[in-house]
Structure 1
Amino acid sequence: MKIVIPIKPTAQMRTEVGVIKFRDGSTRGNAHKKKQQVSNENTIKAFLAQYKPAKPLSGALLLGLRVYLPLLKNKPKWFTGTAKEFRALALKGVVRPISKPDMDNLTKQIKDCMTQCEIWTDDSRVVGYLPHFGKYYSEEPRWEIEVVPFHPELYQEVR
């Protein structure tokens, strides 16, 4: 299963925690998702809904995730070449994003949305990742997702 979501990738945000005060003076804690997080998830889930299988995927799965972030307007300070060189190398995938959002939070965002859309029964089904998993620069920000069944015979024993 291959999925392309043509929107700027966003990471899973931290939950907001607040205090609810009652009329009797008592209080209790409350945790909830930020409005922006809910909006981001809803947009992703709207695209994922097109790919929902008749039955959620089960068994061991491998996840491929390529996150294409917007190309920077200026070259980063750490890059020693020219802006033109940075742009060319970034578009080839030689220079990769090392800034936020981090890959763990991007992955969490997609895995949670795929679970909620019932693409798979649970994200615990993901036992590994496909090659080229990572963050890249692009003039067209997007998510590229691939889910394939895990076939042990394709892998050499690692010990």
Structure 2
Amino acid sequence: MNSSSTDVRAALAAKGYGMGRGVRDTWARPSTAPVAPPARRSRPQAVTKATYSHEVGRRLTFEVPGTPVAKGRHRTAVVKNRVRNYTPEKTANYEAYVAGCAKQAMAGRPMTDGPVALSVTAYFSIPSSWPKKRQAAARAGELRHIQKPDIDNLLKSLKDGMNGVVWKDDCQVCELHNCSKGYCDSPRVVVTVEEI
């Protein structure tokens, strides 16, 4: 053993490091010193200046023009020998469209940070192949929309689209009021969010 390795060992021993048992030429912390977990590397977070407010009774109503789109199931693909999950393009585009309509309706108001109640009415177009009598019944609200998409999947796509715009997260939706779907000449979704 040369003098430089002896000096290094002495310096490490002075700092509380000692020779590990049964392991040759490896250094270990003494068992009496507390061992801190290794620091995790974290990605740099984007700095956002989001403001939140909550005012009981505050209400926001807006429309999302066009045919309502339900939340599609996540898809899975293998890319470069890795499994990748992704949201279907149609769903992602509709959620972005809902976010744009909600942002326009918010008009610069801050997001809410408290519990909210949500009301949704989805209107689908009346099929032109139906007889005129059936079309008139659909316009009058006598016929209900009982085909796909399901109302709960419609709610998912709307709630995900309003994340970060109307509320911080859709877990803030504590009550659902008057969620329905029907027929109309101009397909759209009418959304009402009320702070409770």
Larger radius of gyration: 2
Residue 126 (1) aligns with residue 185 (2): no
- Pairing 1:1-159 to 2, within 5 Å after superposition: 1-21=60-80, 27-52=81-106, 54-75=109-130, 83-116=131-164, 118-131=165-178, 133-150=179-196
TM-score of the aligned structures, taking structure 2 as reference length: 0.64
Find the aligned partners of 1:97 and 1:45 in 2 and give their Cα distance: 25
**Other structure's SS at 2:163 match:** helix
1:72-125 per-position Cα deviation (integer Å, ceiling 9, x unaligned): 2234xxxxxxx2332122112221111111101100000000014x20122111
Q: CA deviation at 1:18?
A: 0.6
Q: CA deviation at 1:42?
A: 2.2
**Other structure's SS at 1:36 match:** helix
TM-score of the aligned structures, taking structure 1 as reference length: 0.78
**Other structure's SS at 1:59 match:** coil
Matched residue pairs, number? Answer: 136
Q: Is the 8 A contact 1:51 1:119 kept in 2?
A: no
Q: CA deviation at 1:37?
A: 2.2
C-alpha RMSD of the superposition: 1.6
Q: CA deviation at 1:55?
A: 2.0
Find the aligned partners of 2:71 and 2:170 in 1 and give their Cα distance: 15
**Other structure's SS at 2:191 match:** strand
What percent of counterpart residues are identical? 27
Letter in 1 for 2:70: A
Question: Gaps spanning 5+ residues in structure 1: where?
Answer: 22-26, 76-82, 151-159
What's the counterpart of residue 18 of structure 2? none
Question: Gaps spanning 5+ residues in structure 2: where?
Answer: 1-59
What's the counterpart of residue 24 of structure 1? none
Q: CA deviation at 1:17?
A: 0.4
Give the 4+ runs in structure 1 shifted more than 3 A: none
Q: CA deviation at 1:60?
A: 2.0
Q: CA deviation at 1:58?
A: 2.6
